Structure 1
Amino acid sequence: MTEIAILTPDPADAAHTTLWPKVLARLQRALDQAGIRAAPTPWTAHVDDAAGLRGFACVLPLLAWGYHFDHARWLRACSAWQREGIALANPAEVLAWNSDKRYLRELAARGVAIPATTCTDALRQDVIERMFDETGAGELIVKPAISGGAWKTVRVGRGDTVDPVDGTTMLVQPYLPTIETEGETSLLYFAGRLSHVVNKRPVPGEFRVQEEFGGVYRVLDTPPAGAVALAEQVLAAIDAPLLYARIDVVPDADGRWLLMEAELIEPDFYLGSDPAQGAAFARALRASLDQGVAA
């Protein structure tokens, strides 16, 4: 059986100690069918010395939750893994790039449709008011450029007072009410091929679609054509050898699909909603290993 490594959270982060083993167990059931055994190891154990990762056929950061709490160390680790030629999927340079949501502006410059987005290192009330004026939005979303799981993401209405933030890059975007009526659609790609599509909707009174906030998930047998077209445009714009990608999109009020996130580090694959329970991912990884792409 081929052994790979899956990077897990910092052991000092008590918030994840009970959940990641359950997620790994579900993933391992899919990998078993492809003759692959996953060995968990904290990403924080391999920041400056990657020797402990060299013996694995492939290293996947699928459970490296919480990296955004120590982003400088994450970037240092990515640099070390790239420099030392660790067999990472996805590539180390992609993991570094994708960890800062300012990548959305880069993709927009390559023609990808995103919500109107302002980035600021000095969040002030005037920035918020200017965004309201420029977009005509009824509400805004404010979140750190380096975050995960809706961490420190807030919804702001006209007239609301925003606490100033210095020294942290913040993203300001219009709130899309369609998140409540149409939901967010996640498209899961393995080795460039669409595996499954999941629609996520918030519970009434909530805007966040994550499960911990009560989000309701359902698999779509027939994904919207516009969502698929945008997701494939995103993958083409990224232009990197990706073993896996989750592309999150939402339609605006006019039905135009917009990219919310391209999750390339530790996305939830929604295997609980996947009719094949992760078989497509296991096949893609097996093929990559057999072809020597990840080795």
Structure 2
Amino acid sequence: MFNPGNPTLTPIAVLTPAADDPAYKSHWPVVLDRLSSALALADVTAVPTAWTDHIHDASGLMDYPLVLGVLTWGYYERPADWRAATRLWGEAGVRIANPASVLGWNSDKSYLRRLEAAGVPIPPTQWTDQATQDLVEAAFDRFGTDTLIVKPTVSGGAWKTSRLSRGQTLTDAPPGAAMIQPFLPELVAAGELSLLFFGGRLSHAVNKRARAGDFRIQSQYGGQYVHLPEPPAAAVALAERVLTAIEEPLLYGRIDMVETAAGWVLMEAELIEPDFYLGEAPDRGRMFAEAVRARLDTGT
């Protein structure tokens, strides 16, 4: 926490989940401690504040030289509030990273369509305003698969995400717009690869695998994370292509991908509140801290 008696520390705000959100109550402070330890390497201290406290009034964020939106978990359960907040922060001129505009559009996975149009390979996807049983059943034949993934376009942490086999009923349909994809067996066999970038530089790579019998690679479902010292050159090239296609200046980004028979495909470009996996980073987040320090020193 910020110690006003220590003038060598630069306080920045870190947006956290809502105080009344039970889903992350015990977990986000652990991640914040990890971020804080890294930031201390650059003489920066993190001041946590719930993003939901700044939906209608940005004045509480204006005095900070930098605001990080890296712990706004749960925004997808309040999408209207999230969109209102990002618009407000942008209009008010809050010095926030990533930019408020990015925090807005990156919250809806339909951005993948724009990246695909720019030449970035993504898994085959059917986009729909509402996932229905009829659409799901037709998708099995459309994709030539016996297993599908159905998830909301506004989601995180596998929220409202279902894996369905032929003959199964969609019992937990996404509440709005959704995406239907063939299940990628490589996700279980080889795992998902995450490449972490800070200040435009590759920091580290992490292989994530689901526990036996599951398809979700998130740690809360038993997923295992392992540092990958030398990520494949083709994977790095894809990540750099994704970042090049995004015009706004990014302080951080996590590019998630899977290697299929046709090559590497982008699963998501996590630019809002990704876990940086600093526990798996060889430098424990020093590059992240240096990128924050550079942003503070230049005032951009």
The bucket for the TM-score relative to the shorter chain is: over 0.9
Do structure 1's residue 209 and structure 2's residue 205 form an aligned pair?
no
Change (3 A) 1:165 1:206: closer
Q: Distance in 1 between matches of 2:171 and 2:26?
A: 34
Does the CA contact (< 8 Å) of 2:191 and 2:209 recur in 1? yes
Q: 1:268 aligns with which of 237, 255, 275?
A: 275
SS in 1 for 2:248: coil
- For 2:43 and 2:69, locate their aligned partners in 1 and report how far apart those are by CA, in whole Å: 19
Q: 2:249 aligns with which of 241, 258, 271?
A: 241
Q: Which 5+ residue runs of structure 2 have no aligned equivalent?
A: 1-8
Structure 2 equivalent of residue 136 of structure 1? 144
The amino acid across from 1:52 in the alignment is G
2:286 maps to what in 1? Answer: 279
SS of 2:49 mapped into structure 1: strand
Deviation at 1:106, TM superposition (A): 1.4
Q: Please say which of residues 122-131 and 267-276 is displaced more in the overlay.
A: 122-131
Aligned residues: CA RMSD: 1.3
Q: Which letter does structure 2 place at the counterpart of 1:278?
A: G
Give distance in 2, aligned partners of 1:139 and 1:22: 35
**Secondary structure of 2:267's partner?**
strand
Taking structure 2 as the reference length, the TM-score comes to 0.95
| Aligned ranges 1:143-158 → 2 under 5 Å | 143-158=151-166
Contact 1:121 1:166 (8 Å CA) reproduced: no
Q: Determine the C-alpha separation between the residues in 1 that align with 2:238 and 2:213.
A: 28
Q: 2:28: which partner in 1?
A: 20
SS of equivalent to 2:164? strand
Aligned partner (choices 120, 123, 136) of residue 112 of structure 1:
120
| Inter-partner Cα distance in structure 1 for 2:90 and 2:121 | 30
Find the counterpart in structure 2 of residue 5 from structure 1: 13
1:51-104 Cα shifts (integer Å, max 9, x gaps): 010110100011111011111000000000000000010000100000011111
The farther-off stretch of 257-266 and 119-128 is 119-128
**Residue 94 of structure 2 corresponds to which residue in structure 1?**
86
Contact 2:152 2:175 (C-alpha < 8 Å) held by counterparts: no
Alignment match, 2:3: none
Percent identity, aligned pairs only, is 53
SS of structure 2 residue aligned to 1:231: helix
What is the 5 A alignment of 1:63-102? 63-102=71-110
Q: Is the 8 A contact 2:162 2:172 kept in 1?
A: no
Distance in 1 (alpha carbons) for counterparts of 2:250 and 2:272:
10
Q: Is the 8 A contact 2:205 2:231 kept in 1?
A: yes
1:183 to 178, 187, 191: 191
Structure 1 residues 175 and 166, CA gap change in structure 2 (3 angstroms): closer
Counterpart for residue 227 of structure 1: 235
> 2: CA distance between counterparts of 1:55 and 1:232?
34
With over 3 angstroms needed to count, the CA separation of the structure-2 counterparts of 1:61 and 1:230, relative to structure 1, is: same
SS at match of 2:57: coil
Q: Which amino acid letter does the alignment assign opposite residue 205 of structure 2?
A: V
Aligned residues: 292
Deviation at 1:160, TM superposition (A): 1.7
Q: Residues 196-224 of structure 1, C-alpha deviation per residue, up to 9 Å, x if partnerless?
A: 00000111111000111111111011101
Gaps of 5+ in 1: none
Distance 1:205 1:164 in 2: 20
Deviation at 1:164, TM superposition (A): 8.2
